[in-house]
Structure 1
Amino acid sequence: MALLKHDVIIVGSGAGGAMAAYELTKAGIQVLLLEAGRDYDPLTETPMFHRNADAPLLGSGNVDKDFGFYDATVDGGWTVPDEPYTSAEGSDFMWWRSRMLGGRTNHWGRYSLRFSEHDFKGKSRDGLGADWPFEYKDIAPWYDKTEALVGVCGTNTGLDDMPDSAPGVLQPPPKPRIPELLVAAAAKKLGIPLAPMHRAVLTQPLDNRAKCFYASPCGRGCSIGAAFQTTTSLLPMAKATGKLEVITNAMVRAIDTNAEGKVTGLSYIDKTTATEHKLSARVVILAASACESARLLLNSKSPKHPQGLANSSKQVGRNLMDSTGAGIGAQIPLLRNRPRYNEDGHTANHLFVPWWGHEAQARGELNFPRGYHFEIGSGFSAPGSWVSGNFQGYGKALKDEAKANYGASVSFALRGEMLPNDDCYMEIDDQVSDKWGIPVAKFHWRWSQHEINQVAHGLQTAKDILTTMGAEVGELPEPEKAILKGGQIIHEVGTTRMGESPQDSVTNQWGQTWDCANLFVMDAGVFASNPHKNCTLTIMTLAMRNANWLAGQIQQGVL
């Protein structure tokens, strides 16, 4: 087996890995990027104009395609052939793996909300969880750079949960839909604001990517590059420098170290030939996703690292968090039988409900810490395999009722912050291995009362808004039953968290592991907390900032 030499090896091609590759190659550094999944080209593989009516099961999901037949995930999901994982007794955790070039950026929601000063210093405010080892002002300029590079539409709102971008950074948002305006009017009566959702979808052309023409669901991927994914942006940009090499179907087995415990490279298995290869590099960056990166570290034991690599703090795999999730919806009488027109937009909600409760929490009026937001589902959309509504009868009367209620439903999807707890973590299951002989991850999971109380508050709030809109909602479900499973929102973070001390964290603020100076983590594993906002914008922002710092360290000869 040949021993190759590279400046930097990156594991993972999603938000963190691709951004790190872009930033490093732009600085003239030679990068090799490994992806465990197959190659993927959205320019040729995206079914943008195919109708649900033409797809198997009318486009609905199944065990192979969780989000429908046209979902951009080609080989991944919560169930991946030949790649099991296990859960401890009494735990129920769902682990999503994308297994494709570009990772989850091919099919994510593109919601791009900045974390705020409240989010980075939560422990200082309420004594729970952990603070990040920097302040919002330190990362704000990097948010600007990332938003401008990626292309994020939205507006500055002045709300305390939505920090403003620098002038000229955000692209214009699409106009709100009629149901969203109705939600805004109802919520305003309750003292709850709505705001344009910030989304990584182009409303103006950017570099060689076209603006969105509001025709296909973004979850299918985007062949014109309007909906951000690394396969149409960061990866091609990095390749254009001539400094990036990519190897797909490369399942990394372990990170290699020498007798002194310093990282020397890694070992991977070529999934197409089942052969193992060793690579050497000056620096290794893990960006394989929070749980996959932690799995690699825990599987990389050596005499110098008997508990797993970079795990002297015993925090690798700990502090596992996901976003809370729950949903509620109803038919709105005012929206029945309204005129039909194209209401597609950029497919996701144009308006949403940001967290408005910081002041109430400061006054001690809420029985849970941190916050949540609502994503709104509404409007006319392409028919699929089901029609919402409790319809009776048959024939013309049934058809008329279905038509009357088409576009008349409004739903709220709650996404909230989870705090770390001792019952939520991952470890290695030494009794189970994947197809390539690599021990698998084992999950432990339990929501705390903080999250249960949060969901109860959110369900009641959503019911209040729907009732104000004239809907009949009925009895609310118990929050313990309404809350979705751990991992189901696909926002898992925290397993290699950053901090100010090697005693209670895995990396410093640059994603550099305390135990190995030439080993970095640049995915959501480094998050010190899990604010209610989608992770991806902050993953990319941290990766840009930290890779920029790393490039300086390499150029100065420190690494």
Structure 2
Amino acid sequence: MDSYDVIIVGSGAGGGMASKILSESGLSVAVVEAGSDFDPALEEYRTQLRWPWESPRRGANTVRAFGDFDAAYGGWDIEGEPYTRKDGTQFDWFRSRMVGGRTNHWGRISLRFGPDDFKRKSIDGLGDDWPIGYEDVAPYYDRVDKIVGVFGTKEGIRNEPDGYFLPPPKPRLHELAFMKGGKKINLPVIPSRISVLTRPVNNERGACFFCAQCNRACQVYGDFSAGTVLVKPAIKKGNVDLYTYAMVRKVTTDEKGEATGISYVSKVDMQEYKLKARVVVLGASACESARIMMNSSSPRHPNGISNSSGTLGRYLHDSTGASRSALMPEFLGRDKYNEDGVGSMHVYTPWWLDNKKLDFPRGYHLEFGGGMRMPNYGFGFGMDSMRKYIKDEFGNAGPNGGYGAGLKKDIRSVYGATVGIAGRGESVPQYDNYCEIDPNTVDKFGIPVLRFHYKWTDHEVKQARHMQDTFEEIFHAMGAQVMGNKPGAEIQYGLAAPGRIIHEVGTARMGDDPKTSVLNKYAQAHECNNLFVVDAASFVSQADKNPTWTIMALSIRTSEYIVDQLKKKNIG
């Protein structure tokens, strides 16, 4: 079959949700994935509950970005699939070539955007407001909660909206310490909101058994991955065909500029094929969808499909990120026991301050780490630099040697005593942060690649400085010894390079005015009525929350709009 009602490019959060909603409406659907099939319940894919020594590299990240056992077939660099940078840009682009995409290994932090997050320009005058508000998206957030499952607690925080929550797991020892320290400095530390099942919700998924290896993808489907929770069930119910190893070149169009389908290169035989459809839905990730649209030039779309505004690829932005580590002296030499929990944090801190009283415009949330998870490759490295924080019973630093029995003793003492905090914040979208087609470079499939231009502004640098001050304040309040020197202005206070937090959004943003946006408020292309985008490319701004929950909520909204428009014969 080479003709469908709908073709969906990408099988991650947005594409996966679209496959569920559209197929259940009775439409015939093709899901086109650039990578391989993947099902963590099958032995051929399983990495969960494997010992580090089962890997020839002891789990090191020489093959996969986060280690051999991480459920991500890809990374920031993929052989034969380059991207380029200009003007000193340091942007890094993470791609997962597999069914479910990056939802197989993400942290599963599942936060709703709040009312303020859709209207930031009205608050601080920067960027642009979304053409929709929280009230437009709230019903779809509710449905995501019920379809996927998320634990948490109702807190009544206005811009951190509550949802339909499963019971949260109890805090672990290091998290209790963060809660204690937070209370001393009036910092809220509340149960996290994570898409992991703490109790069964249906007969097809098991509940979490607390191995803390969600990044390896769950063999009982206890955590959320788009492949296991959305795409595979949709395939089983019928109406969905899955195409793997299919690298999409472009959206094909007719003489009127309407989409007719897609053209893709098979990674199996390196031949080019075409699929036809009444509607094309892009969910390949913010940058990949923009790349496909820019490569889809035609007489009707000379600068790329739906790009007469010139904003396709513009306003690219990622979450800000900075982090710091510390040692809890009272945890040194602690008893060893299984405290794994879920594969993410059990508590976190939502943004708690008023930016009007600060010197930067947007907020951030805090993520807390620590505990006694299974050591992996690299654990114990850097002990020489850590010894100055370790005291013996007489108060002397560095009691043991740098190798042999002394090193083992130090490592055993430190295991479970280190803690960390990461800040994840909102950046202000900038027209001059963008991706474009590199006119001189193609990938191994002959498809022109992306070239990135991205610079942090003073807003993000000042936010990172505030993060570092906050980290130290919390550590001191909880009795921890901060390790290492505080990052200074010369390295932007430890601000991670753009792309490193893997929350890129905004390359085909929605808006009411076709002169300044690519999509309308339903994520429908302004200049191609039967083309839609269901990943984070449509975002006007990021918020200080992870984007996945909003991607899925908007995907439901867009998918049901597609069904409605097909019934009314306005498209297709």
* Pairwise same-fold verdict (TM > 0.5): yes
Q: Which residue of 1 aligns with 2:52?
A: 52
**CA 1:213 to 1:371, structure 2 compared with 1: closer, same or farther past 3 Å?**
same
Within the candidate set 106, 109, 133, 2:107 is matched to: 109
* TM-score normalised per structure 1: 0.96
In structure 2, C-alpha distance between the alignment counterparts of 1:547 and 1:35, rounded to whole Å: 18
Report if the CA contact (8 A) 1:161-1:356 is conserved: no
Unaligned runs of 5+ in 2: 388-397
2:551 is the alignment partner of 1:539: yes
SS of the residue corresponding to residue 266 of structure 1 reads strand
In structure 2, C-alpha distance between the alignment counterparts of 1:226 and 1:421, rounded to whole Å: 38
In structure 2, C-alpha distance between the alignment counterparts of 1:422 and 1:71, rounded to whole Å: 34
| Per-residue deviation, 1:216 | 4.5
2:285 is the alignment partner of 1:289: yes
Unaligned runs of 5+ in 1: none
* TM-score normalised per structure 2: 0.93
Alignment of 1:305-344 (within 5 A): 305-344=301-340
Q: Which residue of 1 aligns with 2:542?
A: 530
Q: Which residue of 1 aligns with 2:159?
A: 161
In structure 2, C-alpha distance between the alignment counterparts of 1:396 and 1:467, rounded to whole Å: 32
Corresponding residue pairs, total: 548
Given residue 46 of structure 1, which amino acid in structure 2 is its aligned partner? R
Alignment of 1:501-520 (within 5 A): 501-520=513-532
Within the candidate set 449, 458, 467, 2:458 is matched to: 449
SS of the residue corresponding to residue 232 of structure 1 reads helix
2:122 is the alignment partner of 1:124: yes
| Per-residue deviation, 1:81 | 1.3
2:174 is the alignment partner of 1:179: yes
Given residue 332 of structure 1, which amino acid in structure 2 is its aligned partner? M
Q: Which residue of 1 aligns with 2:360?
A: 368
In structure 1, C-alpha distance between the alignment counterparts of 2:162 and 2:135, rounded to whole Å: 12
Deviations 1:38-86 (A, max 9, x none): 1122111122111123323321212x21101101113x11111111110
Q: Which residue of 2 aligns with 1:72?
A: 71
Q: Which residue of 1 aligns with 2:426?
A: 417
Within the candidate set 290, 300, 303, 2:299 is matched to: 303
**CA 1:379 to 1:216, structure 2 compared with 1: closer, same or farther past 3 Å?**
closer
| Per-residue deviation, 1:484 | 0.8
In structure 1, C-alpha distance between the alignment counterparts of 2:565 and 2:545, rounded to whole Å: 31
In structure 2, C-alpha distance between the alignment counterparts of 1:467 and 1:53, rounded to whole Å: 37
2:190 is the alignment partner of 1:192: no
In structure 2, C-alpha distance between the alignment counterparts of 1:216 and 1:136, rounded to whole Å: 33
Report if the CA contact (8 A) 1:265-1:280 is conserved: yes
SS of the residue corresponding to residue 125 of structure 1 reads helix
| Per-residue deviation, 1:511 | 0.7
In structure 2, C-alpha distance between the alignment counterparts of 1:299 and 1:511, rounded to whole Å: 19
Report if the CA contact (8 A) 1:122-1:129 is conserved: yes
Deviates more, 1:229-238 or 1:98-107: 229-238
SS of the residue corresponding to residue 146 of structure 2 reads helix
Report if the CA contact (8 A) 2:196-2:222 is conserved: yes
| Per-residue deviation, 1:498 | 0.7
| Per-residue deviation, 1:459 | 0.6
Report if the CA contact (8 A) 1:506-1:513 is conserved: yes
In structure 1, C-alpha distance between the alignment counterparts of 2:480 and 2:347, rounded to whole Å: 20
Report if the CA contact (8 A) 1:53-1:384 is conserved: no
| Per-residue deviation, 1:423 | 3.1
Given residue 287 of structure 2, which amino acid in structure 1 is its aligned partner? C
In structure 1, C-alpha distance between the alignment counterparts of 2:273 and 2:64, rounded to whole Å: 32
Report if the CA contact (8 A) 1:218-1:347 is conserved: yes
2:209 is the alignment partner of 1:213: yes
| Per-residue deviation, 1:337 | 2.5
| Per-residue deviation, 1:549 | 1.5
| Per-residue deviation, 1:206 | 2.2
Alignment of 1:403-414 (within 5 A): 403-414=412-423
| Per-residue deviation, 1:5 | 2.1
In structure 2, C-alpha distance between the alignment counterparts of 1:98 and 1:233, rounded to whole Å: 17
Given residue 53 of structure 2, which amino acid in structure 1 is its aligned partner? A
Report if the CA contact (8 A) 1:204-1:211 is conserved: yes
| Per-residue deviation, 1:481 | 5.2
SS of the residue corresponding to residue 112 of structure 2 reads coil
Deviations 1:469-495 (A, max 9, x none): 222326411151511111111110000
In structure 2, C-alpha distance between the alignment counterparts of 1:54 and 1:271, rounded to whole Å: 29
Q: Which residue of 2 aligns with 1:476?
A: 486
Given residue 191 of structure 2, which amino acid in structure 1 is its aligned partner? P
Report if the CA contact (8 A) 1:352-1:375 is conserved: yes
Deviations 1:130-182 (A, max 9, x none): 111111112111101001100111111112332011xxx21111001111111
SS of the residue corresponding to residue 58 of structure 2 reads helix
In structure 2, C-alpha distance between the alignment counterparts of 1:122 and 1:330, rounded to whole Å: 34
In structure 2, C-alpha distance between the alignment counterparts of 1:90 and 1:161, rounded to whole Å: 36
Report if the CA contact (8 A) 1:108-1:219 is conserved: yes
| Per-residue deviation, 1:372 | 0.5
SS of the residue corresponding to residue 42 of structure 1 reads coil
Q: Which residue of 2 aligns with 1:496?
A: 508
Deviations 1:197-236 (A, max 9, x none): 1011111112210000012511111111001112211112
2:409 is the alignment partner of 1:400: yes
Within the candidate set 348, 352, 358, 1:356 is matched to: 352
4+ long deviations beyond 4 Å: none
Q: Which residue of 1 aligns with 2:394?
A: none
Q: Which residue of 2 aligns with 1:204?
A: 199
Deviations 1:247-269 (A, max 9, x none): 11111111111112111112111
Given residue 440 of structure 1, which amino acid in structure 2 is its aligned partner? V
| Per-residue deviation, 1:334 | 2.2
Report if the CA contact (8 A) 1:49-1:216 is conserved: no
Report if the CA contact (8 A) 1:269-1:436 is conserved: yes
SS of the residue corresponding to residue 96 of structure 2 reads coil
Given residue 69 of structure 1, which amino acid in structure 2 is its aligned partner? D
Deviations 1:318-363 (A, max 9, x none): 0000011111011011222332221100021100111101xx32xx
Given residue 126 of structure 1, which amino acid in structure 2 is its aligned partner? D
Given residue 522 of structure 1, which amino acid in structure 2 is its aligned partner? V
